[in-house]
């Protein structure tokens, strides 16, 4: 059976150290450690984590390679991110959030998982991202919180 490919953003990793989010974030990462799901991790995630506290970095570093599938930013993901911005789904200050969606979309993620309820896990935003994806020939993408995945 094919493993579910889950793109995670920085909030999921950081959530392991936040009392309100730790149970679900850690449970999702444990699912990956056990081989139940594959975590799509991007170079954008890695770059964001370089600026995170050491404890958050340690959560990421502690993930086994077997739990991850790496993906990267590209001209294609930058173009798609820019289309999201032009469509007004999120503003320029949230360009990195839009880029996470673009990377996951281009990589063919089954679902994006985030605790970002303002810019990602939000009904109107999800509809907007998917409207652009469909117009541009990409598949729609599911965006959920870790709570919905464990």
Q: Which domain holds residue 17?
A: 4-149
Using one digit for the tens of pLDDT, what is the confidence trace for 1-53? 789 999 999 999 999 999 999 999 999 999 999 999 999 999 999 999 999 99
Residue range 144-148: average pLDDT? 97
* Cα dihedral sign, 29-31-35-36: negative
pLDDT at site 1: 76
Q: What is the pTM of this model?
A: 0.96
pLDDT at site 10: 96
- Number of separate domains in the chain: 1
List helix spans (H) across 9-68: 10-15, 22-33, 43-50, 54-61
Using one digit for the tens of pLDDT, what is the confidence trace for 78-137? 999 999 999 999 999 999 999 999 999 999 999 999 999 999 999 999 999 999 999 999
Which among 100, 94, 134, 142 is positioned nearest to 118, based on CA atoms? 94
pLDDT at site 66: 95
CATH number of the domain bearing residue 60:
3.40.50.1010
């Amino acid at each position: 059976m094919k493993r579910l490919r889950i793109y995670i953003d920085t909030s999921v990793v950081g959530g392991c150290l936040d009392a309100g989010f730790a149970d679900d974030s850690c449970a999702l990462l444990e699912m990956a450690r056990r081989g139940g799901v594959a975590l799509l991790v991007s170079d954008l995630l890695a770059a964001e984590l370089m600026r995170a506290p050491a404890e958050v970095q340690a959560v990421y570093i502690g993930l086994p390679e077997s739990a991850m599938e790496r993906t990267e930013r590209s001209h294609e993901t930058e173009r798609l991110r820019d289309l999201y911005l032009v469509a007004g789904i999120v503003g320029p200050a949230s360009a990195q959030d839009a880029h996470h969606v673009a990377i996951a979309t281009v990589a063919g993620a089954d679902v994006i998982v985030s605790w970002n309820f303002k810019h990602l896990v939000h009904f109107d935003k999800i509809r907007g991202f998917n409207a652009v994806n469909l117009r541009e020939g990409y598949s729609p993408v599911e965006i959920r919180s870790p709570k919905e995945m464990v």
